Amino acid sequence: MTTSTDKHDSWDDWFYARESSSAIDKARQQEELFTAFNATLSATECKNQVKEHDTIIFIAKLSLRSGVNIFHHFLETGSQIFNETKAHAFIEGISQPISSLMTPDIEVLFEKPAGVAVAVPTPTSILAITSVEDIDGLTDGATTTYKPRNFMIPIPPFLMHSINSTIATSRGDAKMILVEVVNAIKEFDTVHAPDIEYVDSARAKCKPLLFCLVILSRKGRRRHQANS
pTM as predicted:
0.85
Q: How far apart are CA 174 and CA 210, in angstroms?
A: 11
Tell me if 1 sits within 8 A of 54, measured CB to CB.
Answer: yes
Residue 200: per-residue pLDDT: 78
- Residue 1's pLDDT is 40
Q: What pLDDT digit, counting tens, does each position of 91-138 carry? A: 888 876 556 778 888 888 899 988 889 999 999 999 999 999 999 999
User: Higher pLDDT residue, 102 or 59?
Assistant: 59
Of the pLDDT bands very low, low, confident and very high (cuts 50, 70, 90), residue 187 is very high
Task: Give the lowest-confidence range in 58-72, 138-152, 188-202.
Answer: 58-72
Q: How confident is the model at residue 2, as a pLDDT?
A: 44
Residues 123, 143: Cα–Cα separation, whole Å: 12
**pLDDT score of 197:** 84
Q: What is the mean pLDDT of residues 188-206?
A: 89
More confident residue, 68 or 79: 68
Give the residue with greater pLDDT, 150 vs 24: 24
- DSSP-based three-state secondary structure for 75: strand
Give the pLDDT score at 65. Answer: 60
Is the confidence at residue 41, as pLDDT, over 90?
A: yes
> Among 49-58, 94-103, 143-152, which is the least confidently predicted range?
94-103
The whole-number pLDDT of residue 99 equals 62
| Separation CA 2–CA 73 (nearest Å) | 9
Looking at residue 88, its pLDDT comes to 84
Report the range of poorest mean pLDDT among 95-104, 144-153, 187-196: 95-104
- CB-based contacts of 69, cutoff 8 Å, min separation 6: 59, 60, 62, 92, 93, 167, 172
H or E stretch at 90? strand 87-92
| Tens digit of each residue's pLDDT (9 = 90 or more) over 150-186 | 778 999 999 998 999 999 899 899 999 999 999 999 9
- Residues 6+ away with beta carbon under 8 Å from 183: 162
pLDDT-derived band at 62 (thresholds 50, 70, 90) equals confident
Average pLDDT over residues 53-64: 83
**How many Cβ atoms sit within 10 Å of the Cβ of residue 155?**
23
pLDDT value at position 6? 52
Share of the chain above pLDDT 90, in %: 47
